[in-house]
Structure 1
């Protein structure tokens, strides 16, 4: 099948950047080559799902049926990476982002929530069936540890006033396997990275990272930016752009065999809401978002300030944090003055990671 012609007024590089879960778009190729039934059955069996609607009931913001959509994207620090792995500790939500897709599905905003943010946590049901009462001044990422996906969704909905239409979680153990299935990721670091905590040491320059190294990079924080979670968020946003640039624009998934390996690793590591609990629904979501490129997506961190009682914690900055949620509830862009307070991947830590420039010939430079 031939590729759709690129309009003359828009160059290919203008469409580079973010497409959420870009690997699933290319999965259509695998379905055609390997047999739709067998592949769908295999991928569907991999996915773990949670019935968020049943767990939370009616104590939620009203659903808005205007074409806009909200998705909670969560990266957990579980190392399992496999459905068969056993762990009594559910881990914590190391990374949390709210993706708001505007009506028309041509623009979106991605809001990262720092894990150390103090919030009011609603009452949640624990894995043992006990009712945790929640409370004030509790750390955001503890919601997932206390009550799993449903508690994380409920906490975000209470703090934002936005109803989450979908939930997608990828554990970090599986993240490393996805990178390995891709054959690694090639990117450029503008300065040296040396973080004993994440066991990562990179010189400035171009590197091809395997899954373990890539996981170390997205978990690095003590030696970049402000040395805390805000710097790590900037680094993660920059890494995500470099990853999706490679997947989409550099032909990483032209091999059906590699594509199936990536889809298999990703779905084994994925937990979704029950409405996305099959590969066909995931591909439908990607189709809805295919018009959103990097120039159509605003990436920011929820404005926060150091807590006056605990310097190791942050609190939502008033009135800026409220203005972020207010804009998204109204399906409007976040005000420019608020976006300017959040550097996202353009901050000092985010500037460390850049897409690797294509080599004129031969393999990409790697270390």
Structure 2
């Protein structure tokens, strides 16, 4: 982001001159995740070659789960995307080296919520030791399991990912759109294709049984070391599943940062190798199609690591067994409700936006696609920079901030160049009360906010998904995370 106070610009028709072209930013920014298959699918939205898309898409193992979810599902209340991410502990095939335990369980269960417009994302971890009610589920052979009360990961072992999907929907009343599953071998392939992931270890670790050998401090881990780091329960932390989840979340945060790294995404060879490894490593529902992935990826352009956070469902000890936990409903329900009712992007605008709201009658783009110059023509010192900072915090690309000397303007204006109607519409939502208008002297694709004496009050944001104790944000330093 480029912010610089320039000399007084020359004005034309009470409007600022176009700013200098901004420094070239990241070509793509994409959300990443520890199931990592998902981060790959999102990165894939940056590829323009349809043939490559088709080739990658054909490598994904898909399953039809429609008839296993039942009819009594939560209603979809918004335009967000909710994806259930599961790490399987299957010992079949390539995973046989990790033991002979029969069956498979969801070693990791996370609900990834992406807000409408791709503005924010939150990953909600469900502890595997949580005691919950599991509904009756249909198995692959057509038989049904009885409803039961048990550990949440038992849903996966009794009737596969569709049963975990059905259980999470019943517990949270959140409508889930898709699922993505990855096993141990797939996890390692994707970490290696990513070039390793940065972690931070408080002390030296030597655990031959877990094949885990780490020096103290900041380091990059690959393959087996990465898998051992996210799975171990006893050589790191206090041995609890909750402590392991915290470690997994710090790893996920590092994946987000790596997946949005400019060097990664501007190297076509690295990107394709990464995508190819990931698509070979995941399983998903058959509705998670190529078009859905492309739409999801397009909506996430511009999301930065700072807009991604990870939380754990609030829990409390289970009275009948202190080695188990149960949801703390008083704290968990507000979190679930906020996700269910996340109806709007940060500016609180419906889509499409009526003409009387933005002055153009066109559908606005996400803030990250708006190249915005802010000019202070109000006579109030510092107002331009303060407004620019607020807009940048909401995701706008502020490419220039400047102050007009001389007689202040009476009114605030939103002006735009050729091809920037939708960008101006988004600006008018963020700064309401000012009808955008085209300006022939504007640089094509740019929007200009000229702040007059009446100011530029930003729209009040809707209540966000509440903060949860111990949450991790993806832009935090790996050695500074709790």
TM class, shorter-chain normalised? 0.7 to 0.9
User: Alignment partner of 2:322: what SS?
Assistant: coil
Q: 1:8 aligns to what?
A: 3
Cα shift readout 1:128-182 (whole Å, capped 9, x = no counterpart): 322101212x110111111111101000000001110121222221010112223
1:146-295 equivalences in 2 (<5 Å): 146-249=158-261, 251-278=263-290, 280-295=291-306
Query: Is 1:344 matched with 2:471?
Result: yes
For 1:253 and 1:195, the matched residues in 2 are separated by 35
State the Cα distance separating 1:115 from its structure 2 match.
0.7
Considering only CA atoms, is the larger Rg found in Structure 1 or Structure 2?
2
Assess if the C-alpha contact under 8 Å between 1:81 and 1:175 holds in 2: no
- Name the CA shift for 1:62/1:197 in 2 (closer, same or farther; >3 Å): farther
For residues 277 and 198 of structure 1, do their structure 2 counterparts lie closer, same or farther at Cα, with a shift above 3 Å needed? farther
The one of 129, 135, 140 aligned to 1:116:
129
Q: 1:325 aligns with which of 327, 330, 336?
A: 336
Q: Contact 1:195/1:222 (CA < 8 Å) preserved in 2?
A: no
Partner SS state of residue 104, structure 1: helix
Structure-2 residue corresponding to 1:54: 67
Deviation for aligned residue 1:251: 1.4
RMSD value over aligned CA atoms? 3.2
**TM-superposition CA deviations, 1:60-90 (whole Å, max 9, x none):** 11122x322222111112355879xxx9955
Give the C-alpha shift of residue 249 in structure 1.
1.8
More relative contact order in 1 or in 2 (CA 8 Å, sep 6+)?
A: 1
How many angstroms apart in 1 are the aligned matches of 2:130 and 2:101?
25
Q: Give the aligned partner of residue 441 of structure 2.
A: none
Tell me the distance in 2 between the aligned counterparts of 1:81 and 1:251.
34
What residue number does 1:360 align with? none
Shift of residue 212, structure 1, vs aligned partner: 1.1
Q: Alpha-carbon deviation of 1:29?
A: 6.4
Q: What SS class does the counterpart of residue 129 from structure 1 fall into? A: coil
| Residues 1:95 and 2:108 are matched in the alignment | yes
5+ unaligned residues in a row in structure 1: which ranges?
Answer: 1-5, 356-367
Preserved contact between residue 44 and residue 297 of structure 2 (Cα < 8 Å):
no
Counterpart-to-counterpart distance in 2, 1:209 and 1:57: 41
Change (3 A) 1:180 1:297: closer
Distance across 2 between alignment mates of 1:165 and 1:26: 19
Partners of 2:109 and 2:286 lie apart in 1 by 19
- Tell me, in whole angstroms, the C-alpha distance in 2 between the residues paired with 1:259 and 1:18: 14
Q: When you count helix as a share of all residues, which structure comes out higher? A: 1
Structure 2 residue corresponding to 1:132, chosen from 134, 142, 145: 145
Question: Which among 40, 53, 62 is matched to residue 23 of structure 1?
Answer: 40
The aligned counterpart of 1:302 is 313
TM-score by length of 2: 0.62
The CA distance in 1 between the partners of 2:302 and 2:333, in whole Å, is 28
Query: 1:70–1:161: structure 2 CA closer, same or farther, 3 Å change rule?
Result: same
Tell which deviates more after alignment, 206-215 or 153-162: 206-215
Alpha-carbon shift at residue 255 of structure 1 (Å)? 3.9
Does the CA-based 8 Å contact 2:129-2:151 persist in structure 1?
yes
8 Å contact kept, 2:119–2:307: yes
d(CA) in 2 for partners of 1:318, 1:30: 43
Q: Structure 2, unaligned stretches of length 5 or more?
A: 5-21, 343-462
Segment drifting more, 305-314 vs 48-57? 48-57
1:87-133 CA distances to partner (integer Å, 9 max, x unpaired)? 99551111111122223331232211001101100001123322101
Contact 2:47 2:53 in 1 (8 A): no
